[in-house]
A and B are shown apart, each in its own frame.
Chain A
């Protein structure tokens, strides 16, 4: 057959046929016999086919191997936590979505594993099955900061609403971890998880009311609540003396160091309420409050109301006492007050001192300030319950307030010169640098 459109360069005839020489394609002119063109392998990409390697060799686009591994990891985590298939599917969807995003496609395998954990965490929260980020960290055996970073990044990528985890929802799951039931430990130490959960939930609610929970990590508070619940369910001498570290050993959980601080804070809050119990004769201290925990929790709300009322009354009595004892303070107080307010190293300044009086949380009268509070007026010391970070306020470095600066002042030459090295200094410095670099290279 003849190839249309081609002309033989030799004789100009258009009678050209395909005449293959073995495997090589050739076009030969019938009249003069010259080869018009031959298919050469070297020319193939230019003139010939343009099919790329991936198109010819790949039959279908296979999913990335790491993506498959990641999905498997998600399923694994869901199985360990015994989550429903709905949560598992949601987690898998999120993982697929996040994985292909540019912030996660080229990261290390470790980060991809953390991403798997975070997807599970978010899915649980959204489907009303809250778990803590701490649990995920334990499962993945990763640092909480790293997990936190991946979690924030993932939330940005997926653009979904972060579910808020309420501590009372999570504590039941947390207590399941403790192997403290009758089958694991001897009788005198055992407690059933239902009773433990109920008591711990009440303690956690009390902690939340006393501002111990807000802003803090969940795990130490839950551990503290579990420990105190366990102690108070059977407050014999043995249990009260039982330290936290031993308790964690027995229950086979890892002890958190901040749990001890939380225990102290919780005990302090319990003491404040325990004092209001009308049938208690001796002083309520942190040592003997554990016995009273059951009573305190049963009558929590009444005790709280009484405590606040008594606190308010005590403060008012204080005020009237000092006012009557020292008549001068009445006049001194306002000036001292204005001074203390001016010197306040607080981050805010008040244009009008707002009398913030509410029924239940009295900030106290303005007169209170002169009671030895020559530092900033710490409202935390004046109320019954306040977040611990307010009660133990950090001392701030007092910075002198700078005078009004317009920004266009004259800049003195001497000041600028003080920032510039003299020629002698420059010489010395260069010399020293050379010496240091020589000695460094000598040592190395």
Chain B
């Protein structure tokens, strides 16, 4: 289809907005962190990141000539300080950005802690405050903020191996919360109330646990199922617990022009209103499938880790903002 000029402009504005969001970042480290290779240059404001020697990379994009010479000294001395102090968390100072924990405030706090420690090393007070963002050198569009929306997990699917063959008929007989219909499906379907989940237990001893709203809940639920099977007399163990899929959803609270989105992101999107009302967006990095609806609700699925979901949403949010009704 032929893209009209307006859509073309919006598309370019999008990509520029994307880029500038990496170059100019706001100060709060409490946002959901981005695991992007560009993020290293964007975290330049934090002296902890500067101490990494990413200043070389910075120099390519930004003109640092206005900064005092102290800064370079500060960075070199901080490196030594950082190395000795922060050997506990080397991943956090990686080029790829902040190390992602499951809980966001922690990573934010670590970042801030590192920042303050580094500052403490310097006896001279630097006139440059590392927390304020540097002026972006290419201010084509205003710097886009982080979305401020956190996708909520709705469903986690995990598998575990109980490590012993099971007699499904016996389990179905002895357990109150089990159903077994071998003609329909070759597994026992068991449910527990807290956390509200369902498990498929196979005769090989493998089990699938679905319905939990967080990784910890899924793990707890799987342990409970294993305990039930144990109580029934089988030598069940708890092996190879692995999360296979995570589904999350959120609401951007503005309507989205799906027709425009499918035109500009044709390689990733599939929108067939005759078949399904939502647009299916297959993101490449991270490999997540997003269902985007006209109401602004977004469903993200296919993740093995919570961080992938947050990253995918932060990737799609600026794109969606571009398709808000103007």
What residues of chain A have their CB less than 8 Å away from a CB belonging to chain B? 132-134, 144, 148, 151-152, 161-164, 166, 208, 211, 214-218, 346-354, 356, 358, 360-361, 363, 379-380, 385-387, 389-390, 402, 404-409, 411, 415-421, 425-426, 429-430
Query: Which residues of B lie under 8 Å from residue A387 when comparing CB positions?
Result: 255, 294-295
- At the interface, yes or no: B227 with Cβ under 8 Å from chain A? yes
Which residues of B from 267 to 287 have beta carbons under 8 Å from A?
267, 270-275, 277-278
Q: List 10 A-B contacts (CB under 8 A).
A: A148-B275, A164-B263, A218-B274, A352-B148, A358-B324, A405-B217, A407-B217, A407-B223, A416-B231, A430-B173
Q: Mark B294-326, 1 if CB is under 8 A from A, else 0.
A: 111100000000000000000000000000111
Inter-chain contacts of A151 with B (CB < 8 A): 272, 275
> With a CB–CB cut-off of 8 A, which chain B residues contact A360?
325-326
What 6 new A-B contacts, CB under 8 Å, besides A133-B272, A407-B216? Answer: A133-B275, A211-B325, A354-B145, A361-B324, A404-B216, A411-B227
Assembly CA distance A418 to B270 (angstroms): 48
For window 155-194 of B, CB contacts with A under 8 Å fall at 173-177, 192, 194
Known contacts A161-B266, A218-B273, A419-B176: A356-B253 contact under CB 8 Å: yes
Which residues of B lie under 8 Å from residue A216 when comparing CB positions? 273, 277
Do A211 and B255 touch across chains, with their CB atoms under 8 A apart?
yes
Residues of chain A with a CB closer than 8 A to B220's CB: 405-409, 411
B228 CB-CB contact with A under 8 Å: yes
Quick one: which of B173, B232, B273 contacts A215, CB cutoff 8 A?
Answer: B273
CA of A119 to CA of B231, assembled, Å: 57
Contact present for B152 and A347 (CB under 8 Å): yes
Residue of A nearest to B149 (CB): A348
Contact A162 B150 (CB under 8 A): no
Tell me the B residues contacting A by CB distance below 8 Å.
Answer: 1, 30-31, 145, 147-152, 154, 173-177, 192, 194-195, 213-220, 223-224, 227-228, 231-232, 249-259, 262-263, 266-267, 270-275, 277-278, 293-297, 324-326
Q: Which of A350, A379, A407, A416 makes the CB contact (< 8 A) with B148?
A: A350
Q: A351-B31, A416-B228, A420-B228 are in contact. Are A215 and B270 (CB under 8 A)?
A: no
Determine the distance from Cα of A164 to Cα of B267 in the docked complex, in whole angstroms.
12
A421 close to B174 (CB less than 8 A): yes
Complex Cα distance, B295 from A421, in Å, reads 47
Whether B253 contacts A164 by the Cβ 8 Å rule is no
Interface centre among B174, B253, B256 (most CB of A within 10 A): B253
Chain A min CB distance to B191 (Å): 9
Q: Which residues of A have CB within 8 Å of B151?
A: 347-348
Given contacts A211-B294, A347-B154, A420-B174, contact A166 B259 (CB under 8 A): yes
- Contact A164:B259 (CB < 8 A) given known A402-B213, A420-B174: yes
For the complex formed, measure the closest distance between the CB of B182 and the CB atoms of chain A, giving whole angstroms: 14
- CB-CB under 8 A from B194, the residues of chain A are 415
C-alpha gap A163/B266 in the complex (Å): 9
CB pair B254–A217 under 8 Å, yes or no, is no
**Complex CA distance for A161 and B275, rounded to whole angstroms:** 16
- Least CB distance, B6 to chain A, in whole angstroms: 14
User: Which listed residue (B215, B217, B258, B296) contacts A390, Cβ 8 A?
Assistant: B296
Question: B152 is contacted by which of A162, A348, A411 (Cβ under 8 Å)?
Answer: A348
Nearest chain B CB to A337 CB, angstrom units? 15
Partner of A419, one of B148, B228, B254: B228
Query: Is B224 touching A411 in the complex (CB atoms < 8 A)?
Result: yes
Roughly how many angstroms separate A379 CA and B194 CA in the complex, as a whole number?
A: 34
B296: chain A residues at CB < 8 Å are 390
A354 to chain B, nearest CB (A): 5
Complex-state Cα separation, A354 to B263, whole angstroms = 28
Q: Are B192 and A419 interface neighbours, CB within 8 A?
A: yes
A405 touches which of B30, B214, B231, B232 (Cβ 8 Å) = B214
Q: Which A residue's beta carbon lies closest to that of B192?
A: A419
Contact yes or no, B213 A162, CB < 8 A: no
Query: In the complex, which residues of chain A have a beta carbon less than 8 angstroms from the beta carbon of B295?
Result: 380, 387, 389-390
Chain A residue, CB-CB nearest to B224: A411
The 3 tightest CB contacts between A and B, nearest first, are A348-B250, A407-B216, A407-B219
Taking a contact as CB atoms under 8 Å apart, the answer to whether B177 and A215 are in contact is no
- Shortest A394–chain B CB gap in Å is 11
Give the residue among B1, B150, B151, B219 with the most A Cβ atoms within 10 A. Answer: B1
The closest CB in chain A to the CB of B321 belongs to A356
A164 to B1 alpha-carbon distance, docked (Å): 7
Residues of B contacting A404 with CB < 8 Å?
Answer: 216
Contacts of B326 in A (CB 8 A): 358, 360
**Chain A proximity of B294: nearest CB distance (Å):** 4
In the complex, are the beta carbons of A429 and B173 less than 8 A apart? yes
What separation, in Å, do the CA atoms of A411 and B226 have in the docked complex?
11
Q: A211-B255, A419-B176 are in contact. Are A162 and B270 (CB under 8 A)?
A: yes
A295, chain B: closest CB distance, angstroms:
24
Contact call B325/A361, Cβ cutoff below 8 A: yes
Give the docked Cα–Cα distance between A380 and B251 (Å): 12
In the complex the two chains form, what is the Cα distance from A151 to B174 in whole Å? 46
List of A residues within 8 angstroms of B217 by Cβ: 402, 405, 407
Contacts of A163 in B (CB 8 A): 1
Q: Are B251 and A347 in contact (CB under 8 A)?
A: yes
Does A347 contact B216, Cβ atoms closer than 8 Å? no
For A361, what are the chain B residues with a Cβ–Cβ distance below 8 Å?
A: 254, 324-325
Q: Is the CB of A402 within 8 A of B195?
A: yes
Please state if A350 and B255 are interface contacts (CB–CB under 8 Å): no
Most B CB within 10 A of own CB, among A152, A348, A361, A429: A348
Minimum CB–CB distance from B246 to chain A (whole Å) comes to 14
Please pick, from B252, B258, B274, the residue contacting A148 in the complex, using a CB distance under 8 A.
Answer: B274
How distant is A177 from chain B, measured CB to nearest CB, in Å? 17
Closest to A351 in B: B148
Are A419 and B274 interface neighbours, CB within 8 A? no
The answer to whether A421 and B324 touch across the interface, beta carbons within 8 angstroms, is no
Residues of B within 8 A of A166 (CB): 1, 259
**Given contacts A144-B274, A166-B1, A402-B217, is CB(A215)–CB(B297) below 8 Å?**
no
Contacts of B149 in A (CB 8 A): 348-351
* Contact among A162, A215, A380 for B258, CB-based, below 8 A: A215
Asked if A421 meets B176 with Cβ closer than 8 Å, knowing A132-B274, A407-B217, the reply is yes
Contact B262 A164 (CB under 8 A): yes
A379→B274 contact, CB < 8 A? no
Most buried by A among B151, B154, B277: B277
Chain B residues with Cβ below 8 Å from A351 are: 30-31, 148-150
Is the beta-carbon distance between B294 and A215 smaller than 8 angstroms?
A: yes
- Closest B-chain residue to A136, C-beta based? B274
Chain A contacts of B147 at CB under 8 A?
354
A284-B259 Cα distance, complex, nearest whole Å: 31
